[in-house]
Structure 1
Amino acid sequence: MVLEKEGTFRIGDKELYTKSWLPDGLTKAKLVFIHGFSDHVNRYYGFFPFLAERGIAVHGFDQRGWGRSVAKPAEKGLTGPTTRVLDDMAAFIRPHLPSYPSDPPVFVMGHSMGGGQVLTLMSDPAYAKDIVSRVRGFLLEAPFIDFAPEERPWTLKVIAGRLASHVLPRFHLSNRIPPENLSRDPEVVRSLDADPLVHDTGTLEGLAGLLDRTAALASGSIRPPSDAVRAIWVGHGTADKATSFSATKKWFDQCATDISDRTFKAYEGYYHQLHADKGREEFYEDVAAWILERAEPTAIAPLDAKL
Structure 2
Amino acid sequence: MKHQVATLRLPAGSKSAGAELFTQSWLPDGPAKALIILVHGYDEHSGRYQYFAEHCTGKGYAVYTLDHWGHGKSAGINGFIPAFSVYHDGVDALIASLPTETANLPKILVGHSLGGLISATYLLDKQDGFAAAILSGPAIKAADEPSAFLKFISGILSKIAPKLGVISLDANGVSRDPQVVADYLADPLVSGQKISARLGREMMVNMDLIQREAGKITLPLLMLHGGEDSLASPEGSSFLNKNIGSKIKQLKIYPDLYHEIFNEPEKEIVLNDMTDWLNQHISDNQPN
Fold shared by both chains (TM-score > 0.5)? yes
Equivalent in the alignment of 1:186: 178
Equivalent in the alignment of 1:203: 196
Equivalent in the alignment of 1:162: 155
SS state at 1:44 partner: helix
Matched, 1:293 2:285: no
Unpaired runs of 5+ residues, structure 1, are none
Change (3 A) 1:97 1:210: farther
Amino acid at match of 1:91: A
Deviates more, 1:5-14 or 1:58-67: 5-14
- CA shift for structure 1 position 45: 4.4
CA separation in 1, counterparts of 2:287 and 2:119? 22
1:54-133 to structure 2, matched below 5 A, reads: 54-70=59-75, 75-96=77-98, 103-123=104-124, 127=125, 131-133=126-128
Equivalent in the alignment of 1:47: 52
- CA shift for structure 1 position 66: 0.8
Amino acid at match of 1:272: H
SS state at 1:211 partner: helix
TM-score, normalised with respect to structure 2: 0.89
SS state at 2:182 partner: helix
- The answer (yes or no) to whether the contact 1:44–1:276 under 8 Å persists in 2 is no
Matched, 1:139 2:134: yes
Change (3 A) 1:161 1:53: same
Equivalent in the alignment of 1:252: 241
- The answer (yes or no) to whether the contact 1:4–1:19 under 8 Å persists in 2 is yes
TM-score, normalised with respect to structure 1: 0.84
Equivalent in the alignment of 2:216: 225
- The answer (yes or no) to whether the contact 1:115–1:142 under 8 Å persists in 2 is yes
Change (3 A) 1:138 1:96: farther
CA separation in 2, counterparts of 1:278 and 1:94? 35
Unpaired runs of 5+ residues, structure 2, are 11-16
- The answer (yes or no) to whether the contact 1:67–1:197 under 8 Å persists in 2 is yes
Q: CA RMSD for the aligned pairs?
A: 2.2
In percent, how many aligned pairs have the same letter? 24
- CA shift for structure 1 position 165: 1.1
Deviations 1:74-103 (A, max 9, x none): x223322122222222222344498898x2
Deviations 1:151-189 (A, max 9, x none): x567655433320211233x2416332221110001001
CA separation in 1, counterparts of 2:146 and 2:216? 31
**How many residues were matched structurally?**
281
Change (3 A) 1:167 1:30: same
Amino acid at match of 1:22: L
- The answer (yes or no) to whether the contact 2:106–2:287 under 8 Å persists in 1 is no
- The answer (yes or no) to whether the contact 1:82–1:209 under 8 Å persists in 2 is yes
Deviations 1:252-301 (A, max 9, x none): 11x12x311111111121110000012111111011112222343xx244
CA separation in 2, counterparts of 1:292 and 1:36? 25
Equivalent in the alignment of 1:216: 209
Change (3 A) 1:36 1:147: same
- The answer (yes or no) to whether the contact 2:167–2:196 under 8 Å persists in 1 is no
Amino acid at match of 1:113: L
Change (3 A) 1:302 1:51: closer
Change (3 A) 1:95 1:231: farther
CA separation in 2, counterparts of 1:82 and 1:35? 14
- Runs of 4+ in structure 1 off by over 6 angstroms are 97-101
Amino acid at match of 2:95: I
- The answer (yes or no) to whether the contact 1:184–1:277 under 8 Å persists in 2 is yes
CA separation in 1, counterparts of 2:24 and 2:123? 23
- The answer (yes or no) to whether the contact 1:141–1:274 under 8 Å persists in 2 is yes
Matched, 1:238 2:240: no
